[in-house]
Amino acid sequence: MSTPGSAAPQPDPDTGAATAHDPAPLRVGLVGYGPAGAFFHAPLIAAAPGLVLDTIVTGDQQRRQQARAEHPEVRFAAGAEELWARAGELDLIVLASPNRTHVPLATAALEAGLPVVVDKPLAGTAAEARELARLAAARGLLLTVFQNRRWDADFLTLRSLIQRGELGEVQRFESRFERWRPQPKGGWRESGDPAEIGGLLYDLGSHLVDQALTLFGPARLVYAESDVRRPGAAADDDSFIALTHSGGVRSHLWMSATTARLGPRFRVLGSAAGYVSYGLDPQEPALREGLRPGGDAVWGAEPESAWGTLGTGDDVRPVPSLPGDYPAFYAAVETALRDGTEPPVTPLECAAALDVIEAAHRSARTGKAVAL
């Protein structure tokens, strides 16, 4: 099987000797051009030197006009079936479609012989995620999930501090993704229909659980509280998960749309020091404002006012934030496609996070901790 986008060395026109050329860019089909497709995937794909945004699947004329303004060379398709019909023209499919479509569309793409990036969550259940992983492995195709919060500035900074031992032995990890949105916005993300895979445990919880498992390994015990707070809301909008990791660390994770006073984004307590940071990574608002990676400014840089602090008691110091790096995700996808290396996020990692989310739903219903 040839490597996607590969190009054989061509003879030098003067000497006749073979010379290496940059490989052809990998051609990407993007399914969905709502907020996830328009503000995250399309700009990051377009900014990746080894990728080209070939086709966007959307039947919405206003979204097509919006996409054409930023990506003049892009083609359009009304449905994903058009991509499967010309699978030989594409090297990668990216699914930025509603959660309920992730499993059927990823299955169809893999069966058409196409590698796939899926926006989180990969599936509604861990069993479905593992079945997709088996299918991808059987076909020898890449399957990965856009867990972009692994490349947030504060997360990269925290991971570096832990790896350098600056906190000592981590004992407790507190992580919050909170908002003040007292009125529901509506739409499938806030639907109470289980088929929609909505609610904050699947939405923001997918990020928080993934970060906790990435830092501290598997969870063995899950306790959760989950509520519907807002009038007219149908899905969980204020939830809490407590994890006991196999290594002994305890993670406390809050996700809420009803938080009138926001807590710290991270509060991490170790045997030698603690780390506290506030606020959210700057990359999402930058992308929504039309800024793109590759300009003169350092992408993902946080101002000094947003740096976290490290220390004990009153003896604390600011810690310069490492720049956030969402472009690293698609750079790693390209490398995995060309070299056959591991994807940046494996489907089995996502299945483990879904084990936690499913256990959290059970715990919230019964009021009891669930062992994994």
According to the model, what pLDDT value does residue 302 have?
A: 97
CB 150 within 8 A of CB 214: yes
Query: Of 3-17, 167-181, 235-249, 304-318, where does mean pLDDT reach its minimum?
Result: 3-17
Give the CATH number of domain 149-325+354-371; options: 3.30.360.10, 3.50.50.60, 3.40.50.300, 3.30.470.20: 3.30.360.10
Encode pLDDT of 81-125 as tens digits.
999 999 999 999 999 999 999 999 999 999 999 999 999 999 999
The model's confidence at residue 1, banded by pLDDT at 50, 70 and 90, is very low
Where do the domains of the chain lie? 10-119, 149-325+354-371
Taking residues 148-168, report their average pLDDT: 98
* Closest among 100, 97, 95 to 193, alpha carbons compared: 100
According to the model, what pLDDT value does residue 295 have?
A: 78
- The burial class, CB within 10 Å (0-12 / 13-18 / 19+), for 125 is middle
pLDDT greater at residue 21 or residue 156: 156
The DSSP string of 198-261 is: -STTTTHHHHHHHHHHHHH--EEEEEEEEE--STT--S--EEEEEEEETTS-EEEEEEESB-SS
Taking residues 198-208, report their average pLDDT: 98
- How far, in Å, CA of 243 to CA of 363, rounded? 12
Decide if pLDDT at 20 tops 80.
no
Taking residues 131-138, report their average pLDDT: 98
Q: What angle do CA 235, 107, 119 make, to 5 degrees?
A: 45
- How far, in Å, CA of 132 to CA of 137, rounded? 9
Average of per-residue pLDDT values in the chain: 94
Assigned token pair, 363: 């715990």
Assigned token pair, 234: 């149908």
The model's confidence at residue 371, banded by pLDDT at 50, 70 and 90, is very high
The model's confidence at residue 5, banded by pLDDT at 50, 70 and 90, is low
CATH code of the domain occupying 10-119: 3.40.50.720
Decide if pLDDT at 245 tops 50.
yes
Encode pLDDT of 55-66 as tens digits.
999 999 999 999
According to the model, what pLDDT value does residue 8 have?
A: 38
Burial letters 199-217, b for 16+ CB under 10 A, else e: bbbbbbbbbbbbbbbbbbe
Taking residues 251-256, report their average pLDDT: 98
Torsion of the alpha carbons at 296, 301, 305 and 307, rounded to the nearest 10: -160
Q: What percentage of the chain carries pLDDT values higher than 70?
A: 94
CB 236 within 8 A of CB 225: no
pLDDT greater at residue 15 or residue 109: 109
Q: Tell me which DSSP letter residue 149 carries.
A: G
Residue with structure tokens 């929609």? Answer: 196
Taking residues 18-26, report their average pLDDT: 74
Residue 35: CB atoms within 10 Å? 12
CB 96 within 8 A of CB 33: yes
According to the model, what pLDDT value does residue 22 have?
A: 78
According to the model, what pLDDT value does residue 9 have?
A: 41
According to the model, what pLDDT value does residue 356 have?
A: 98
According to the model, what pLDDT value does residue 134 have?
A: 98
